[in-house]
Amino acid sequence: MTPGRHHGGRAHQGIRRAAVACTAILLLSTGCSMLTPPGSDGDASHRSSVQVDTPELRDAKAATDLPDCAPGAGSHGDSTLPAITLPCLGGGADVNVSTLRGPMVINLWASWCPPCRRELPIYEKFFQKHGDQVAVLGIDFNDAQPGAALELARETGISYPQLADPNTDLALAGPLPNFPGLPAMIFIDADGSVVDDSGTPRVAFEEIDSVGELEGLVEKHLGITLGQAP
């Protein structure tokens, strides 16, 4: 190996390490890492034993405004959500998410994620304003504390359905990408597709600050003019 190639390789490795570090810093500054949430031992080699439907959690859910979960009317397809069945947070019917049809926006959140906590009231306002045109669904994602999640639901007064994915089964389940952090959004069109015409998943990783911002994202990803008949 020549000296020039040797130094070039080191420089290239340094650039890659810097890029990875910058990506990690950006994620942590704008959202919550889902890899090691509070209370986690960091071991992802086994499935969680978290239960989201117990008598105590059903009582906690009864103190919220959360409705029952309901399956969709569709069937699994190449561009739909994966054929994964998730439990209803705090008890209720399980839902095979591949049956869901839109227009719909799904909010992935967790009780341990501060940006998620700030977002929930915004989703509720959007739901109250546009729920008859665009359905809203929450998924308590990678959360080992369903009781804390239900308490947060009570505090924020959210009233749209909530599933739970404590084992992050949706991550990397095609056509969905990995979810490197929270909060996250998934957009489903009327046909149940979660990918656009180019095959890119309709997924966004950002904290929304207003109903107007969420309206813009829905219009961008689903091509809907809100406030008008679909």
Q: What is the pLDDT of residues 112-131, one digit of tens each?
A: 999 999 999 999 999 999 99
Residues 19 and 52 in one domain: no
Q: What is residue 69's three-state secondary structure? A: coil
Residues 12 and 106 in one domain: no
- Number of independent structural domains in the chain: 2
pLDDT given at position 3: 42
**Is residue 230 situated within a structural domain?**
no
Residues 98 and 180 in one domain: yes
Residues 2 and 81 in one domain: no
pLDDT given at position 227: 78
**Is residue 229 situated within a structural domain?**
no
Residues 56 and 13 in one domain: no
Residue 79 and residue 175 in contact, taking contact as beta carbons nearer than 8 Å: yes
Nearest to 28 by CA among 208, 20, 144, 13: 20
- Give the CATH number of the domain where residue 61 resides: 3.40.30.10
Residues 57 and 20 in one domain: no
Taking residues 23-38, what's their average pLDDT? 50
Taking the C-alpha atoms of residue 205 and residue 119, their distance in angstroms, rounded to an integer, is 13
Q: How many whole angstroms from its chain centre is CA 134?
A: 16
Higher pLDDT residue, 173 or 16?
A: 173
Residues 93 and 2 in one domain: no
1: confidence class by pLDDT, cuts 50, 70, 90: very low
Residues 65 and 3 in one domain: no
**Is residue 137 situated within a structural domain?**
yes
Residues 86 and 149 in one domain: yes
Show the domain range for 16: 1-30
Dihedral sign for Cα 184, 170, 132, 219, please.
positive
Residues 103 and 5 in one domain: no
Residues 19 and 106 in one domain: no
Within the chain, residue ranges assigned H as helices are 3-30, 55-62, 114-130, 146-156, 211-222
